[in-house]
Structure formats: structure tokens, C-alpha cells
Amino acid sequence: MRIAIVHPFTWVDVRRGGERYAHDLTWWLAKQGHEVDYVTGGPAHSIEEVDGARIVRLHHRHGERLTGMGISKLETFGVTALPWLQRNRYDVVHAFVPSAAIAARLVRQRTVFTAIGHPGEGTRGRERVLLKRATRAAHVTTALSFSAAEALEDLTMRAVRVVNPGVRLETFTPDLTARTGPPRVLFAAKASEPRKRLNDLLNAWPSVLQALPDARLQIGGGGDFGWFLPEGVAATMDVLGIGSLAELPQRYRDATVTVLPSQDEAFGLVLVESLACGTPVVAAASGGMPEIVADGVGAVARLGDVTDLADAIVATVKQAADQETPARCAHHAMQWGWDRVGPDHLAAYTAANDA
């Protein structure tokens, strides 16, 4: 099958869950023998082969005037990609932003659109219009969780398939020893992004310290957050920074528990990566994250309730000391291995061609 994965950014350039998802999907499809182009943006046109797939970089013209108007590259990349999609025919175009799905359908390509985010009350204006147009244009629309699919269906009145992202289990390998010793609580998302709600974790931290005085809070993922530090937190905190790609699995393995208190997270790839490494997780009861966390591998706290978040962290730290917990976490994460979720993507492509 000849497939185009269309996303304005690459995982190498931008380290977010959506870029990681598109990158790893490209890798898996190429490994299965499919002919894959990852069509993305860049400062100039270029084509290179990486891991059996072609990375097609298109000159993404997006002037300062558009940025000043609040228009993002996500919204304009369809215009950049359209000439390429018009000249090159694919069995299916898998678009990861609405503008790319609209462009693909305009040039009569069989189109799958994946909504990376989780529609919520803040989905208004152009974003709302683009989502509706993309779901009307695509032959198949997918979302990353049941929660995200339901929200998107409510917004667009269109059917949405649930297709989960995957985790590379050969990279995120587990440490199967119990997590004992001074607890290390890892926050591995972008600290400066308000939706990740690092402030909830920081506000909960003094209560965690009351129960676990030797605990350390480890902040990874990059981003500035120095504007908000409750009294006494800094002395028990380690700022790890974004780090290299090679360091990430070991960070999970070194942690006692990984915490993601985000709001409206469509999936929560950080949680699955941590579980694959044998480390239990705590998430907020928001978006698709509760669909990942099960009994014995972590806990879910009420969104914005710092007392409940602190209690969930303390309980999960105790759970992590159980010798059976790391193996239970790693086994739970296997359902998101690419050998499990990859065929779901191929089924969506087949459905797009049958539509």
C-alpha cells in the first residue's frame, strides 16, 4: 500500500505526543513493507529516506503576519501540502491536522483524518470550523480514545473510529524490580503548557511530603515554570530538562511513579511509556487518560483536586514497592504495542478505500 502520513512537524524537530505518534506509525508501516511518505514542513524542499520511509519536507510559507493574527502552522499546512498531494497519488492519505485532511480530499485522495486533540469547551472559532470541515472531508475520521471520539462526534455529528497510538516496546523496556527507596515522582510533560496542569502537582506536593518526607519531584519535558513555586517545593525538586531521546526510557525506569495531571488529554502517551518501563502512573480523571489506568498499575485523581492528587500519588508510591507491580505495568502496556495497534490503522485505511 502507498501511504502518505501528513503532519506539519516531525518528531525530530518537535517533541510532542502527536509528532511521536506520526513518526512511530510511519516506522511501523515501513517495517510492514508499505511504501510510506511522511509529508511535513520545513524551511526548504527536501526528500530523504529514514528507516525505510521517505521524509518529504515542503517549504512551509507561514509569515509573521499570519502568526500575528493568531493563525498557526497547523491551520495553514494544508495549503502547503496540497500541490504535493495533487501531483502524487496514494492509496490513502493519513492527515494529522484538519487542513491536511481538507486538502487531501480536495484533490480526490482517499483520506483518513486523525484528530490529535480532545475537543472541549475551549474548542471555538476557526478550530471548531476546521474540525467540522475535516470530518466531512475525510472518508474515515479517527480519535485517540473513546472520550475523544465521543467529544468529536458531539461536535461534528459525524462517526468517529477509536484508533489508539502505539508505544515502541523494544525501546521502552521494563525494569522489573520493585520501586523502593526514596520516592521519585516524575512529571514528563511540557512544564509551561497550562493544559498539563503542573500547578496542580506543585500545589499537591506539600501534602505528598507530609506522608513521604524523603520524596523528590522530578520535572522533565522542558518549559519554564519558575513563575509558580509554592513555598518549600524547590528544595525537594530536581529539574531534569527535556533531555535526549535516549535518556527518556531510563527516566521512567528510575522513577517510582509518573504523574500526568493534564486536562482534556486525548490519550496520554507518557502514561503508556511509563507503564511499558514498569513504572506505575497517576493521571487526572479527564479526557482519555482513565482509559489507560487500570487497577494495580496506578491511580486516577479528580481533575483539579490537589488533595485527591496527593492521596493518589502516595497510594501509588506504596503500590510501586510491591514486587509484582512492575511486571503488571509492563504487561498492561503491551496492549498498546505496535503489533496490537498497527493493524487497527490498516483497517482504517481499508475502510477509507471501501467508503
pLDDT in tens, 52-92: 999 999 998 765 555 554 556 677 889 899 999 999 999 99
pLDDT in tens, 98-148: 999 999 999 999 999 999 999 876 666 778 889 999 999 999 999 999 999
Same domain as 157, residue 9? yes
Which residue type does 328 have? R
- Cβ atoms of residues 8 and 14 within 8 Å: no
Residue 117 sits at φ, ψ, to 5 deg, of -90, -175
In a domain, 177, yes or no: no
10/159 same-domain check: yes
Does one domain contain both 198 and 122? Answer: no
Grid coordinates representing 19 are 509528532
Q: Is 85 a domain residue?
A: yes
72 lies in the same domain as 114 = yes
Give the number of domains in the chain. Answer: 2
The per-residue pLDDT for 225 is 66
Instruction: Give the C-alpha separation, 130 to 112, whole Å.
Output: 15
Residue 216 bridge partners (DSSP): 184
What is the C-alpha to C-alpha distance for residues 129 and 143, in angstroms, rounded to an integer?
17
Q: What is the pTM of this model?
A: 0.93
Domain assignment present for residue 305? The answer is: yes
Residues 9/40, Cβ–Cβ less than 8 Å = yes
